[in-house]
Amino acid sequence: MTVDTSTTNSAIPGSELSVVADTLPEEVAATGLVSPAEIGASSNRLVALAHIYGTTPFTQLEQARHELGMDRAGFERLLELFSRIPALRDAVVNGPSGRYWTNTVLGLEKVGVFDAVLNRKQIFPHLVGLYPGPTCMFRCHFCVRVTGARYQASALARGNDMFASVIDEVPINNRDAMYVSGGLEPLTNPGLGALVRKAAGRGFRIVLYTNSFALNEQKLKSEQGLWDLHAVRTSLYGLTDEEYQATTGKKGSFSRVRANLARFQQLRAEREAPIRLGLSYIVLPGRARRLSALVDFIAELNEAAPDRPVDYINLREDYSGRPDGKLSPDERAELQDELNQFREKAAERTPALHIDYGYALHSLMRGADVQLVRIRPETMRPSAHPQVSVQVDLLGDVYLYREAAFPGLAGADRYRIGTVGPGGTLAQVVDRFVSGGVAVHPQEGDEYFLDGFDQAVTARLNQMEADIADGWGEWRGFLR
């Protein structure tokens, strides 16, 4: 599962590349870096450069230089010119693939973790996923979980003590350093509320990723610490009991989740609790037309507590079964049409709802034919990126990638770098891996251990590494 991106930036007025291009010659002239005779050509090259990085953000600088047909000295002058015109940067981050910049890259750039990875610097992971669930009541067909895999109940007490030690260990300079997910369903751990309360007591804003099947009133009463969560983000697997059963294998599950969410809204309104409620909906193949019903569902939930509506929704798509993840032209056209209708209907029926369309759907809505990053075994990094993110399961095992921390998953042990417990803290586990120069050699199919966040981070690191090797260290990664 991916981290919460519910505060994604909106487009900046006037930041469309076509709008920027109209006034660009004046901006170029104002820099004083270009002679009058070169203003037109420089403006055209700047527009082309912004287009490259607005649609393919992980392009290496040498590749961009060759696409523009420039020598190194001229390209370096162009990069300097680009950096002097803020509107061009705005056009890139609001381009068709801009969510890679705003949702992931620039935030991590700001805290310097990419450079820490490239320099093999020993730092505490920027993000720590806690995976406390011992089991799950669903068996979703797109989930990598091994059927029947679970942790023994006897592991709960020791595991929760271990999680408490990790919470004590995480530096407090990043309030969003931890999230709770899985793996398996977190709410199946009866000690989750106490862990959340402990983390909140240290000032952390914890987001819980859950299917909300167990988010009932009894659970909320018995685990008062759950009210200390910053947000609950519920994964939806359909909009009817039939759709839920087809996806999760469990009868009547949608009705139960819907009732739980409605009651949760009422309770948080009664308590005046600041906890946020978000939803995550995957547009599965053949279900694009259900987006209209999704708006109706959210509007109905809002009726349970009109003063505390659903805060946000993250829309994603799953076409993993398609070759290279590509949609057919007919599917693409249908999905684009349905997304735009969804946006219009949501603005009318759920005006307070923040909608995050993620990496893929954002570009599709704009009619841009861009492709998602697709990391393969040959482009995976043997040293991964533990300075950016790690995951810890109920046994204390530390994993490099978010989709690897599932019990019994074939091949996942290659990405387990140690165990938190008597043998060492989380910092020690990560430091041993980084300082020891450990390399994990990917095998065919290992790319499925990386979720969208891991893929974007890997692509960024590969880009930066190549830029540095090509002598572009000062400009590595283009936007910083």
- pLDDT surpasses 60 at 13: no
Provide the 8-state DSSP code for 441. -
Of 91-100, 299-308, 345-354, 463-472, the range with the lowest mean pLDDT is 91-100
User: Looking only at Cα atoms, what is the longest distance across the chain?
Assistant: 76
Beta-bridge mates of residue 131: 393
**Tens digit of each residue's pLDDT (9 = 90 or more) over 361-380:** 877 877 776 677 899 999 99
Say if residues 179 and 125 touch (Cβ distance below 8 Å). Answer: no
Is the separation of the CB atoms in 415 and 152 below 8 Å? no
Cα gap 94→158, rounded to integer Å: 47
Strand partners, 280: 235, 314
The torsion angles phi and psi of 389, rounded to 5 degrees, stand at: -160, 140
Is the distance from CB of 350 to CB of 325 less than 8 angstroms?
Answer: no
Above 50 in pLDDT, residue 226?
yes
Contacts of 274 (CB under 8 A, 6+ apart): none
Once rounded to an integer, what is the mean pLDDT over residues 181-210?
A: 96
- Distance separating alpha carbons of residues 22 and 19, to the nearest angstrom: 5
pLDDT-derived band of residue 143, with 50, 70 and 90 as boundaries?
low
- Give, for 199, the enclosing helix (H) or strand (E): helix 192-201
**Backbone φ and ψ of 137, nearest 5°:** -85, -10
* Strand duo 416-419 + 397-399: pairing: antiparallel
Region 401-429: mean pLDDT is: 93
CA distance 309 to 278: 10
Of residues 1 and 38, the one with the higher pLDDT is 38
- Of 92, 9, 12, 18, nearest in space to 50 by CA: 92
Residue type, 295: V
User: What is the average pLDDT value for the chain, to the nearest integer?
Assistant: 91
Residue range 117-127, pLDDT digits in tens: 999 999 999 99
Task: State residue 272's pLDDT score.
Answer: 96
Please give the domain boundaries of the chain with CATH numbers for all domains: 1-93+462-480 (no CATH), 113-365 (3.20.20.70)
Average pLDDT on 451-467 reads 97
Mean pLDDT on 93-103: 92
131-159 per-residue burial string, b: 16 or more CB within 10 A, e: under 16: bbbbbbbbebeebebeeeebbeeebbeeb
Q: Decide if 92 contacts 54 (C-beta within 8 A).
A: yes
**Percent of the chain at pLDDT exceeding 90:** 77
Strand intervals (E) in 144-229? 178-180, 207-210
For residues 116 and 15, the model is more confident at: 116
Average pLDDT over residues 454-463: 97
CA distance 69 to 470: 17
State the first-to-last Cα distance of the chain, in angstroms, to the nearest integer. 26
Backbone Cα Rg of the chain: 23
pLDDT at 322 exceeding the cut of 70: no
Give the mean pLDDT of 223-239.
96
Given a cut of 60, whether residue 307 has pLDDT beyond it is: yes
The pLDDT assigned to 4 comes to: 41
CB 419 within 8 A of CB 367: no
445: left (phi over 0), alpha (psi -120 to 50) or beta: left
pLDDT at 147: 62
DSSP 421: B
Q: Per-residue pLDDT for 428 more than 60?
A: yes
> In this structure, what token pair is assigned to residue 253?
């599950």
What is the chain's percent helix, strand, coil content, to nearest 5? 50, 10, 40
7 pLDDT exceeds 50? no
- Our CA angle for 112, 114, 116, nearest 5°, is 75
Say what the pLDDT of residue 145 is: 58
Q: How far is the C-alpha of 55 from the C-alpha of 59, rounded, in Å?
A: 9
Q: Which residues are CB-contacts of 31 (< 8 A; sequence separation ≥ 6)?
A: 81, 84, 85
Distance from C-alpha of 141 to C-alpha of 380, rounded to nearest angstrom: 25
pLDDT at 142: 59
Tell me, what amino acid is at 245?
Q
Q: What is the pLDDT of residue 86?
A: 95
Query: For a pLDDT cut of 70, what percent of the chain falls above it?
Result: 92
Structure tokens at 250: 């469990």
DSSP state at residue 102:
I
Provide mean pLDDT across the span 342-365: 91
Q: What is the pLDDT of residue 8?
A: 36
Per the CB < 8 A criterion, the answer to whether 131 and 188 are in contact is no
Number of Cα atoms under 13 Å in the Cβ half of residue 335: 29
d(CA 202, CA 177): 12
